[in-house]
Amino acid sequence: MAVKIAGYLLDLDGTVYLGERLIPGADRAIETLRTRGRRIVFLSNKPLQARRDYAAKLTHLGVPASENDVINSSYVLARYLSHHAPGATVYAIGEPPLLAELRAAGFAISEDPKKIEYVIAAFDRTFDYRKLNIAFQALRRGARFIATNPDRTCPVDDGEIPDAAGVIAALEATTGRKVETVVGKPSHHTVEVALERLGLPADACAMVGDRLETDIVMGRGAGLTAILTLTGVTPRDAVSTASVMPDHVIESITVLPDLDEKLNT
Amino acid sequence: MAVKIAGYLLDLDGTVYLGERLIPGADRAIETLRTRGRRIVFLSNKPLQARRDYAAKLTHLGVPASENDVINSSYVLARYLSHHAPGATVYAIGEPPLLAELRAAGFAISEDPKKIEYVIAAFDRTFDYRKLNIAFQALRRGARFIATNPDRTCPVDDGEIPDAAGVIAALEATTGRKVETVVGKPSHHTVEVALERLGLPADACAMVGDRLETDIVMGRGAGLTAILTLTGVTPRDAVSTASVMPDHVIESITVLPDLDEKLNT
C-alpha cells in the first residue's frame, strides 16, 4: 500500500518537549515513526541556539538527533541569504549563535552602516541602543531589511520575555520602513528548507505543532497535512474559532503513530 | 489698542537655534518681543536634558532664560503624572535627567514589575533588553503605559538617530498593548503646561515652530495662532500640501517682531 505521509515536520517546544521536560512518550512515538521509515525534521523559530545544541538536547532527552535533523530560524535565514545574496555584508541584531551561523555561511559581518547590505532583526537578549542605531543608519542608507522570526514573546520557565517582534518594531517605527521578509514560521521559507532536507514534496508531509498561528497556518498554507497537538499553548476550545483550521487534532505526540497509521492506510 | 497675541510658545531646535548655533538674529528678535511685554516660553520634545540645561544653553547663545522659561517633554510628563497619579511607583525607559525630574516630582522609581504602576517610554540612548524586559513584565501585569514624545528620530550634527518611537513600538509589539498617552508635542498636555506657565488663554498665544506635524498641528489643534518658520526641517514647498496649515509662515524668527506688530494692530 502506498505511503501517503512519508515525512513529519515536528515543532519542538510545546510539541516534543516543554522547556527541559520531554512530553511523556514523545521518545517512543518518534522511534516508532522512524522504524516505519518516516523521515523526521525538527523545527524551531528560536535563533538563540545552534542547531547542534538542539540536537544535543533532543538526544539527551531520549530522541536521538543530529545537527542535520534540526532547522531553526537562524539556519533558514542563512540559507535564504545564501540564495539571494551570497557573500553579502550583513549586520544582525542577534545573539552569538546567529552570528556564527552567518559567518559559517560565508557572510561578512560589519558594523559600518555604509558597508551593510542586509540588516537582520532577530530575537536578541543583548539588544541595545548601539545596535538599534547601527541598524537604523544602515536601513536609512538603503540596506535590505529581513528578520528571523515574527514572535512577540518567547515562553520561559516563569512566563514570557520579549522576542524578535520588539526589534523589528523598533526599527520599523524609527526608520519608517517595513521588514521585507521574516523567514521563520509561518513563512514558506521555513517549509522549503524543511522539505529540501526531507527530500519529499509538500503533499507527502505533515506539519505537527502546538501553535495555530504559526505551525498550522504554515502547514496548511504550504499544502502539508496540518496536525495540531494540545500539549502546548493551544487549548482544545480555541480550535473551533481558529481562522485556519488544522486537518487533525491530537492530544499529544504520543498518539501520532496511531494517526500515522490511519493516514497511511 | 488691545494686544491680541500676548504670549509666544517657541520651539527650540530649528526655530531658535540649529544644534549649537543660534539662528542669526534670534536673540534680537526675542529681546524685541520681550521689550514689548510679550511673554515667552521655550518648548522642546527632548527628554534628554534638564530644563536648566536648556536655559543655560539659551543664555549662552545670547537669549537670557531661566529654568522656568523652558518646558520639555520630561517636565510635561512629570506634571501630567503629578496630576493623575501623585506619588505613584514608576519605571522609565529614559536617561538620568528624566529620572531626576520624576524623583523631584515625588515619584518612586522601581525595577520590580510587581510594584510598577506606570511604565514611561522615552528617548533613551541607553535603552537595552534589560529595560525592555522590565517594562514588558510590568505592562503584562497591568501597569499604565505612557510616553514622553512620539518622535521617530532626533536630528544630530551628522544626521538623525532613533528617538522614543522605537521604544514605544518595541513595547507595543511585544506586549500587544498600545501606549495610552504621549504627553510631548503635538499633545494638548504640552500646550496646557505652557499656557499655565504663561498665564494666558490659548487665543492670546502663538505657537512658533519648524515642524508641521508637531508644532503646527499642536498650535492649530489647541486654538493658538500657528506660525511656521522655515529655518528648520520644513521647506516652503511642503506647506501647500500640509494636512494642517499654519496661520502664518515666516522665513525666520528674525522677522517674528514684524509679524507680531501686524497681529497686534
Mean pLDDT by 10 residues, chain B (265 residues): 88 94 97 98 94 97 97 96 97 97 97 98 98 98 97 88 97 98 97 97 97 95 98 93 95 98 93
Q: Which residue of B has its CA nearest to A170?
A: B166
Minimum distance, in Å, between the CA of residue B129 and any CA atom of chain A:
5
Assign domain A74-182 to its CATH superfamily. Answer: HAD superfamily/HAD-like (3.40.50.1000)
pLDDT of residue A141: 98
Which residues in B lie closer than 8 A to residue A125 (C-beta atoms)? 129
B137 in reach of chain A (CB within 8 A): yes
Q: Name the pairing type of β-strands B144-147 and B153-156.
A: unpaired
Q: Which of residues 113-132 of A touch B (CB under 8 A)?
A: 124-129, 132
Chain B residues near residue A137 by CB distance under 8 angstroms? 159
Mean pLDDT of the region A183-192: 97
- Beta strands at B17-18 and B21-22: parallel, antiparallel or unpaired: antiparallel
* pLDDT given for residue A264 in this prediction: 94
**Residue B6 C-beta-side C-alpha neighbours within 13 Å:** 13
Q: How do residues A65-95 score in pLDDT, each as one tens digit? A: 999 999 999 999 999 999 999 999 999 999 9
Q: Give the distance from residue B48's alpha carbon to the nearest chain A alpha carbon, in angstroms.
A: 15
Quick: pLDDT tens for A143-179.
999 999 999 999 887 889 999 999 999 999 999 999 9
Backbone angles phi, psi at A259, to 5 degrees: -65, -40
Provide the pLDDT for residue A156: 84
**ipTM of the modeled complex:** 0.92
pLDDT in tens, A115-145: 999 999 999 999 999 999 999 999 999 999 9
Task: State the average pLDDT for chain A.
Answer: 96
pLDDT at B155 (0 to 100): 83
Cα–Cα dist A43/B262, whole Å = 71
Which chain A residues are within 8 Å of B132, Cβ to Cβ? 127, 162, 166
Smallest Cβ–Cβ distance between B128 and the set A128, A160, A169 belongs to: A128
Phi/psi at A264 (5° precision):
-105, 20
Q: A162 to chain B: which residues are within 8 Å by CB?
A: 129, 132-133, 136, 170, 174
A87 contact partners, CB below 8 Å, separation of at least 6: A106, A107, A108
For chain B, the residue count is: 265
Q: Which residues of A85-114 are buried (b: 16+ CB within 10 A; e: fewer)?
A: eeebbbbbbbbebbbebbeebebeeeeebe
**Are A90 and A116 in contact, with CB atoms under 8 Å apart?**
yes
Secondary structure (H, E, C), B123-137? CCCCCEHHHHHHHHH
CATH of B7-45+185-263, one of 2.40.50.40, 3.40.50.1000, 3.30.590.20, 3.40.30.10: 3.40.50.1000
Q: Do domains B7-45+185-263 and B74-182 have the same CATH topology?
A: yes
Is residue A1 scored above 70 in pLDDT?
no
Segment B121-145, tens digit of pLDDT: 999 999 999 999 999 999 999 999 9
Closest CA to B256 of B231, B233, B236: B231
**Given CB atoms, is A160 within the 8 Å cutoff of chain B?**
yes
d(CA B148, CA B145): 11
Cis check for the bond before B86: say yes or no (omega within 30 of 0).
no
Q: Look at residue B1 in the predicted model and tell me its pLDDT.
A: 54
| Domain-wise residue ranges, chain A | 7-45+185-263, 74-182
pLDDT, residue A168, reads 98
A79 DSSP 8-state letter = H
Q: Which chain A residues contact residue B175 at CB under 8 A?
A: 152
Mean pLDDT, range A31-44, rounded to an integer? 97
Distance from the B122 Cα atom to the nearest Cα atom in chain A, whole angstroms: 13
Q: Which of A152, A168, A173 sits opposite B176 (nearest CB)?
A: A152
At A98 the pLDDT is: 96
Q: Among B139, B153, B158, B174, which would you mutate to test the A interface (most chain A Cβ atoms within 10 Å of its Cβ)? A: B174
What is the per-residue pLDDT across B168-215, written as a single tens digit (0 to 9) for each? 999 999 999 999 999 999 999 999 999 999 999 999 999 999 999 999
Residues 6+ apart with CB under 8 A from B11: B42, B43, B44, B185, B207, B208, B209, B210, B211, B215, B232
| Residues on chain B touching A140 (C-beta within 8 angstroms) | 159-160
CB contact under 8 A, A161 and B136: yes
Residue B165 is nearest to which of A124, A161, A173, comparing CB atoms? A173
On the question of pLDDT at A41 being above 80, the answer is yes
Task: Look at A127 and B132 and tell me if their CB atoms are within 8 Å.
Answer: yes
Question: Looking at beta carbons, which residues of chain B come within 8 Å of A160?
Answer: 140
Q: What share of chain A is helix, strand, coil (3-state, %, to 5)?
A: 40, 20, 35
If we measure between CA atoms, which residue out of B214, B90, B77 comes closest to residue B154?
B214
The pLDDT, as a whole number, for residue B140 is: 97
Instruction: Answer yes or no: are the C-beta atoms of A184 and A152 closer than 8 Å.
Output: no
CA distance B66 to chain A (A): 32
Q: Give pTM, 2 decimals.
A: 0.93
Q: Do A169 and B167 touch (CB under 8 A)?
A: no
Write down the pLDDT at residue B85: 97
